[in-house]
Amino acid sequence: MDKQKQIIEMFDQIAPTYDSANRILSLGIDVAWRREACKKAFEYFGENKPSVILDVACGTGDMILHWEKNAKKFQKDFGKIIGIDPSSGMLEVAQEKLKNQLKSRKAELLLGEAKNLRGIENQSVDILSIAYGLRNVVDVKEALSEFARVLKKGGVLVVLEFTKKEKENFLDKIAGFYTRNILPLIGGLVSKNYKAYKYLPDSIDGFLTSSMLTQELSKLGIHTRFIKAYSANISTLLIGVKQ
């Protein structure tokens, strides 16, 4: 079995406990990170109403709910939001959480991978988000190329991720100790799957730095307009605009 399929199977296994584990492991701070991502995306999108928001690696649908909530808060109503994820287990949880949105057709869920956004037409997306899912994509460059393909000119890319540090400072070392030693233990207890949560710090170590990600996006015509690390550099928010 190839690496990407192994990662997808892992998420299928932890899907039932994924949300509760996330809240415990992040102490709820990830809610603030997601809210800030929505706020900044709407700022850089401008005055127009986004017709289509695409949430890639949508998992259990958390980011979709944040988009809906913050669109109302910032008076940025959107036409439709599409969530796409390769894990059928995660989508099953999302379908239950988003049953009202799916019924009203304000939301749609698709099974698919970031590197192959089949069913999404060229230049059809106003805002594309991927929250803590990019490092789980084996073919990152292919995924970024797909993002550039489906984004409209002037479209906004939102990346929330645990990026690899350029150079570790004292706070980074403390955060690293937590993710490498404490997080797998707690995540393993909640999910009964220690291996899955041991994978998280390993995936961060093998991922791109913020500057590397910025460079790859620039090659595709997506210029980084905002980048900031939050909560002792644990989480990074990047906002890019397609030229």
Could you tell me the CATH number of the domain that includes residue 238? 3.40.50.150
Question: Does 200 map to a domain?
Answer: no
Banded model confidence at residue 96, pLDDT cuts 50, 70, 90: very high
pTM over 0.85: yes
Mean pLDDT is lowest, of 22-31, 113-122, 155-164, 229-238, for: 22-31
Average pLDDT, integer, range 145-153: 98
Average pLDDT, integer, range 188-205: 72
Average pLDDT, integer, range 208-212: 86
Question: Does 20 map to a domain?
Answer: yes
Q: Which pLDDT value is given to residue 134? A: 92
Question: Does 113 map to a domain?
Answer: yes
Domain that holds residue 234: 3-164+208-242
* Whether the predicted pLDDT of 230 surpasses 90: no
Question: Does 194 map to a domain?
Answer: no
Paired with 222 in beta bridges are 242
pLDDT digits (tens, 9 = 90+) for 10-52: 889 989 888 887 777 677 788 899 999 999 999 999 888 899 9
* Whether the predicted pLDDT of 123 surpasses 80: yes
* Whether the predicted pLDDT of 194 surpasses 90: no
60 is in an annotated binding site: yes
For the chain, the domain total comes to 1
Burial class (CB in 10 A: 0-12, 13-18, 19+), 12: middle
Question: Does 202 map to a domain?
Answer: no
Of 91, 82, 73, 2, nearest in space to 36 by CA:
73
pLDDT digits (tens, 9 = 90+) for 152-173: 999 999 999 877 666 666 666 6
Question: Does 203 map to a domain?
Answer: no
85 is in an annotated binding site: yes
Q: Which pLDDT value is given to residue 28? A: 75
Q: Which two tokens stand for residue 144?
A: 């970024």
Long-range contacts formed by 122-125: CB under 8 A, 24+ apart: 122/149, 122/150, 123/149, 123/150, 123/151, 123/152, 123/153, 123/155, 124/52, 124/150, 124/152, 125/52, 125/53, 125/54, 125/150, 125/151, 125/152, 125/155
Q: Which two tokens stand for residue 79?
A: 């036409």
Question: Does 176 map to a domain?
Answer: no
Question: Does 173 map to a domain?
Answer: no
Average pLDDT, integer, range 106-128: 96
Task: Determine if residue 14 is left, alpha or beta; phi over 0 gives left, psi from -120 to 50 gives alpha, anything else beta.
Answer: alpha
